[in-house]
Amino acid sequence: MVRVPPPGVYVPSPTFFKPIQGATQPEVDVATQSEHSVFLAKNGVHGLVLLGSTGEAIHLTRAERKGLLSGVRKSLDDAGFPDYPIMAGVLVNGIDEALEWLQDSKDAGCQWGLVLAPGYFGGAASQQGLIEWYTIVADKSPIPILIYNYPGVTNGITVTPETYEKLAQHPNIVGCKMSHGNVSYHVQVSTSPKIDHEKFRVYSGFGQQLGPIVVFNAAGVIDGLASFFPKTVVRLFELSSKRPIDDAAIKEARDLQYRVSRAEDYIGRWGILGIREGIYRVVGLGTVEGGRAPLRGRIPEGAWEEWADVMKAMSEP
């Protein structure tokens, strides 16, 4: 039977790099990557997305990707988290190359592939074309896949609810991640009577949508804020998914959603560099030198301090 990812909070981990020491590009830091992954597992996060957009997979070689995935899997197993859920990003447009990434992900111990919609040609790619592309990939993939729709990096391509309804019928397509602000699409796909929601999970890429979409049957979020405030985001998910939900839980969920939504504005403003900064300052891992060009550097001096009140409200024991 095809395995479906569990509901919950997943973290789209940034890829950690060693400090730059005269090299053209910094080396991948698998040890710190693994330490952060174990930290998240210990703090209630339900799963990881490695080598997605936040993970800069497009900046890594094939050997680096395989080494990172297998290194994190081994570290989680050694730390007492065997079979911990890992989705591996697949960020290419060619079908054969996507299948190569998926095979490598399986070999490294990942259970699912999070496959970005092929957006090189932008609007020239029709919904029917997307259905054909994903169907071929799913037919041949060695692991189940999820549809990853991030219009911001795919020339504005948006997968429609009708396309999700058709692709959800494929036995090897087990969910989707929507990284856009169209809450209506989230709700339509999460509640569609044409989809078996025990077999097809809907995740948002935005924690500010967590409470509203989980109330309407979404499976959870794949959220960067949880990379340094995992307990708060997980608690919000637990409250939002509680059935039946009592007045006390609703009150706490409203308070947490407000705090999370405010902090998510920081992620929206500073993106991957902001996530790195947050992990460095809150968790004490990584560096603030950024990743590989063109994402080197850090957020401007004083920018973190501008969010002091917001981050204080998110503080965790």
For the stretch 208-249, pLDDT in tens is 999 999 999 999 999 999 999 999 999 999 999 999 999 999
One-letter identity of residue 163: T
- The pLDDT of residue 21 is 77
> Whole-angstrom Cα distance, residue 169 to residue 12?
26
For the stretch 28-80, pLDDT in tens is 999 999 999 999 999 999 999 999 999 999 999 999 999 999 999 999 999 99
5 touches 112 (CB < 8 A): yes
- The pLDDT of residue 23 is 66
- The pLDDT of residue 288 is 87
- The pLDDT of residue 19 is 87
- The pLDDT of residue 290 is 74
Exposure string of 245-274, with b = 16+ CB inside 10 Å and e = fewer, is eeeeeeeebeebbebbbbbbebbeebbbbb
Which residues of the chain register pLDDT less than 70? Answer: 23
- The pLDDT of residue 252 is 97
175 forms bridges with which residues in the sheet? 146, 201
- The pLDDT of residue 296 is 86
Residue 202 main-chain phi, psi, to 5 deg: -110, 125
Active site residues: 177
DSSP per-residue codes, 210-264: HHHHHHTT--EEE-GGGGT-HHHHHHHHHHHT-SSPPHHHHHHHHHHHHHHHHHH
- The pLDDT of residue 265 is 98
> Whole-angstrom Cα distance, residue 217 to residue 142?
28
Mean residue pLDDT of the chain comes to 96
Asked if the bond preceding 151 is cis, omega within 30° of 0, the reply is no
**pTM beyond 0.85:** yes
